[in-house]
Homo-oligomer: A and B are copies of this chain.
């Protein structure tokens, strides 16, 4: 049941969302994609991987994804990119990579607006992992081996970038409950707790999919 699902995981920096995703993928025996996405997108497009890394989840102020999709429907088929800015092209290529991966079957995808890209798929669940800034700073100090000030600054700046990236390329709102199927505070139940809760959600979701879809 939970094994039949595609999980997209957005996360605040330092919340352990990436780790939750990799533990989840391992537990369910399905593929896990984080930075791997950039490599795949580079391979598929012929663009240099460094370009994808530079643009990765950073803000793009000039452009609104859905308006482009309306004006350039052909972009969806990976043609006609030339009229777009480089950042926009990278985003659209990466989105196509995400759709290709989803076509292959259940997996876990971290960030990169994957929830938005796959929003029309019934077999995709969108998750967001949050935690209070203090807990995230504490975790960032340990995991990234930096001092408290640096850790705190990185948490705040990264989230600002991620929100900005997400909000400029989608019509959703990063970090709002209404944007996701499930959000979890990792400081409240730990990373293993998050994995358990997501698997339980996946089971319930897969079951509910078979029923009439309304709030009842």
Residues of A within 8 A of B (CB): 12, 14-16, 125, 128, 130-132, 135-136, 138-139, 175-178, 180-191, 193, 196-197, 200-201, 204-205, 207-208, 211, 213-216
> B181, A182: Cβ atoms under 8 Å?
no
Contacts of A214 in B (CB 8 A): 135, 138-139, 187
Query: In the complex, what distance in Å separates the CA atom of A138 from the CA atom of B214?
Result: 8
Q: A139-B215, A175-B176, A182-B183 are known contacts; what are 8 more A-B pairs with Cβ within 8 Å?
A: A136-B215, A138-B215, A175-B178, A177-B177, A182-B188, A191-B215, A193-B204, A193-B205
Copies of the polypeptide in the assembly: 2
Partner of A200 from B15, B176, B178, B197 at Cβ < 8 Å? B197
A182-B183, A204-B197, A208-B188 as given contacts; A16 in contact with B135, CB under 8 Å: no
Shortest A4–chain B CB gap in Å is: 15
Shortest A95–chain B CB gap in Å is: 22
> B183, A208: Cβ atoms under 8 Å?
no
> B177, A191: Cβ atoms under 8 Å?
no
Contacts of A190 in B (CB 8 A): 208, 211, 215-216
- Least CB separation from A174: chain B residue: B177
Q: Which of A177, A178, A181 has the most CB of B within 10 A?
A: A177
